[in-house]
Structure 1
């Protein structure tokens, strides 16, 4: 292939360039000659028209001269002087070989025409002078009649000579056409010869070279097809191995996800059980003891203390016991609210909103039907409650919100939990780590994990200074 590139391609390129240049030059030359001849023919037609008009003007001027000398009325409104002027200027332009056209002057070379115009000049001058005498109002009528006689005598000679001039113009124009035809034949024959030489010196070597190249390509293609067939078989085996490896990896990944989900579910379930047990311990154990302590303290209110300071300390002690009881109840409720198991998720969320609003001083609303309990399993009920509890705590601690709203609704077979606040908002990207997980310090990863364990969907919409909207959708 390297030999073909160097020996054939370069030589064929040179031949092509030379042949194309010759053909282009011949074509351009032919077009130039044709265009030039057409322009000349247009000028020839203009000259023939002007020469023919000279005959017409001379006859018209003769007629006007007769009418003028005879003092006869006529309808020709053309000024005699203007016609004489046009007739004279046209004759001088033809005689001087400078005929004005739209874009300039037309000139020509013709010894025959020069001789004819030179022979015509005395006749023209005689007729022109007599036209001037006829049109001169100071000349007497007999002199005008004599001038008219000379005009009538010279006019046939003028017309005859002008006919010869017109025919000479036409003859020379026809000769130029014949010359153009001969040149056109010469250019056509040269173009055909160049094309014939191009076919012998260029196209035939190209065909032979192409035949050799095609043969080499065919042999290479057959060898390539054989190699491709072997490579295809090897690729099929490799693909099968890759697919098997991918399947094993996918099964391993799914198994790992299932294990992580089971582990997380077991961990959360254990946490909930531990919270339930701890809440019962607080409520039934410490809570009952604190309640008994409060009763005993209230019975001592009737005892009179001799020291007023001791009386105030005792009252502070009673108040402290009451605060400890209230805090214990709040901790027990947060660990496992009894209203959740007794009245359902709607009632538990409403109570959560009321207690959080009382402690935080923020306006918290609950939008849901507390009189209707949504039937769902215990893990789903606890999971949705924990999601709402976590999101509400985040809004209270971090959002600087003036208003928070929790909405729970059932749409056919789907539960939708929505927590909205009008706080400062945030960028979602700031809550995620490099691997795409939510940072645990804000509780979002716990919400995401609980949502996944419920086979639900979580959506967060937040902008800076535009609040935050958390939506969790779970199918029953």
Structure 2
């Protein structure tokens, strides 16, 4: 075996060597970073411990002064000795615990045991003064708890002991705090020195990498690129020669690819000559068309269909000289008498032998066509059903309008008509000679006229108010509640919880107004309510209207048994639901006998930018 077979391209042996040194250099840098982080974390933890110790040591000075101050306050006239004694006890306990923690450590305070001999020697000096102050303070407390009326000589002596020991304690505590501070500074200086060493080591590694890795690698890459460019020029020259051969074979390759596609992806295929005679037809295609082996002598157009018109069309298509693939969907009649749909691709083949000229590639799409027809029928049926539903809804709304007109006519006939008849009869029965009766009838006529005016206003108000068209649903509902409150004398309140006045589609506003109006009228007439609250709010593209009343209520189970049209109740529940469903809204009715009724109307705007308009 020749030596060249063992050689690696692009000087692989050099590359492997450089990679090895490069990984070692990176590992050294990573190691220095890790060591530096470990040192920093250790120092930070030590600094945290030192800061706690220094803090506690500094507090010891403050607590010693606080101890003396509280002891002196006990001798002040008018001072609250009980409170001072409590604070003095707490001070002694905290001071003593902190003093012991600084020497022997305390886990709850986060202080470790002191091991520095110089600091322990200082604590050994300060401990007698600390103990003397503790003992003196405890004796002061014991004397005061005996309720002495005036400071005794013993108390004065103990206070003097506190003052004498405090000076020495403060001086020695200053020395201890300074010793803690010096120790922390020394540790910090050591850390800085180590960091500088690690930094110098890292920079040295980077310098060696540049000198022994990056520089040789850059030179090698440069030489490699030079060789590649030289080889590229030689390759371009060779490519030009190959391109000529490629162009000559491209046409043949394309034909082979088309043929491979037919073989690999189709089960229904056939081939024919220029005159339409069959060269080959697949077994599956032959079975689908219902052809026998004897029929293969006939032209391909006659095998594909028994319809003469389609045969003539296919004959012309197969004979036409085309250079591109032709695809179309065609309905053919097989010899079995079946009507099938084929997705046919006619592929022209150009070969020197002239034995094969056309390739037919087909797919049976009969099921797809049938499903498509079913889908079209369903779409048509769905459209007709929607049209019919709209017609039914329109007729129901018209019927509801007719019922509304009947109700208004009945109100006018039974109310206003009766009052006009009574007015006419009373006017005709006036006898001017009988002044007493005349005055009485005139007073009655005034009352009757007031009732008549009230009835006319009620009837006209039930028609579409001008506020609905001019200002929208919110002002219209507000006007309705205020007018009905005046006309009926009942407490009918309006609560507008929307931030701004908004407008909806006119059809939606009209239907919403009518449903809300019917709900309020039902509460007045049939529920015998004295208090009615109409609340309206608009959040998350949903308009919600709630009508609450304190009427007699009813059993909700009768809602399903109610007839569709109840002329005595205006539109009735059926037409309320029809109106709200016509605008794709929802209606909810909740009632408890003896406790009242709540009617909730929700309308969701599908396209807020089109259906909702803010009114300034």
With normalisation by structure 1, the TM-score equals: 0.53
Change (3 A) 1:267 1:150: closer
CA contact (8 A) 1:41 1:173 kept: yes
CA contact (8 A) 1:69 1:134 kept: no
Q: Report the counterpart of residue 561 of structure 2 in structure 1.
A: none
Q: Report the counterpart of residue 36 of structure 2 in structure 1.
A: 30
Written as runs of structure 1 = structure 2, the 5 A alignment for 1:5-404 is 5-70=11-76, 72-74=78-80, 78-96=86-104, 98-100=105-107, 105-137=111-143, 141-240=152-251, 242=253, 255-256=273-274, 258-259=276-277, 263=299, 379-380=308-309
Bigger relative contact order, structure 1 or 2, given CA contacts below 8 A and separation 6+?
A: 1
CA contact (8 A) 2:106 2:112 kept: yes
Deviation at 1:111, TM superposition (A): 2.6
SS in 1 for 2:222: helix
Deviation track 1:305-347 (CA, whole Å, cap 9, x = no partner) reads xxxxxxxxxxxxxxxxxxxxxxxxxxxxxxxxxxxxxxxxxxx
Deviation track 1:134-179 (CA, whole Å, cap 9, x = no partner) reads 1114777221211111111111111111111112211211221111
Change (3 A) 1:448 1:64: closer
Corresponding residue to 2:8 among 2, 7, 10:
2
- Over the aligned positions, Cα root-mean-square deviation in angstroms equals 4.4
Structure 2 gaps, min length 5: 1-6, 263-269, 279-296, 313-329, 346-362, 375-616
Written as runs of structure 1 = structure 2, the 5 A alignment for 1:403-418 is none
SS in 1 for 2:137: helix
Change (3 A) 1:135 1:448: closer
Q: Report the counterpart of residue 460 of structure 1 in structure 2.
A: 366
Q: 2: CA distance between counterparts of 1:9 and 1:239?
A: 42
Deviation at 1:213, TM superposition (A): 2.0
Change (3 A) 1:55 1:72: farther
Deviation at 1:246, TM superposition (A): 9.6
Q: 1: CA distance between counterparts of 2:274 and 2:129?
A: 125
Tell me which structure has the larger Cα radius of gyration.
1
Whose helix fraction is larger, Structure 1's or Structure 2's? 1
Change (3 A) 1:3 1:204: same
Deviation track 1:404-428 (CA, whole Å, cap 9, x = no partner) reads xxxxxxxxxxxx9999xxxxxxxxx
Q: 1: CA distance between counterparts of 2:91 and 2:28?
A: 54
Change (3 A) 1:232 1:109: farther
CA contact (8 A) 1:37 1:177 kept: yes
SS in 1 for 2:126: helix
Structure 1 gaps, min length 5: 273-378, 384-415, 420-437, 470-476
CA contact (8 A) 2:18 2:213 kept: yes
Q: 2: CA distance between counterparts of 1:257 and 1:76?
A: 126
Q: 2: CA distance between counterparts of 1:267 and 1:11?
A: 74
Q: 2: CA distance between counterparts of 1:267 and 1:184?
A: 93
Deviation at 1:115, TM superposition (A): 1.9
CA contact (8 A) 1:65 1:134 kept: yes
Alignment length, in residue pairs? Answer: 296
Q: 2: CA distance between counterparts of 1:77 and 1:70?
A: 13
Q: 2: CA distance between counterparts of 1:448 and 1:48?
A: 96
Deviation track 1:101-158 (CA, whole Å, cap 9, x = no partner) reads 56x5434542321221111111111111111111114777221211111111111111
SS in 2 for 1:2: coil
Q: Report the counterpart of residue 409 of structure 2 in structure 1.
A: none
Q: Report the counterpart of residue 279 of structure 1 in structure 2.
A: none
Deviation at 1:448, TM superposition (A): 7.5
Q: 1: CA distance between counterparts of 2:28 and 2:364?
A: 78
Deviation track 1:277-296 (CA, whole Å, cap 9, x = no partner) reads xxxxxxxxxxxxxxxxxxxx
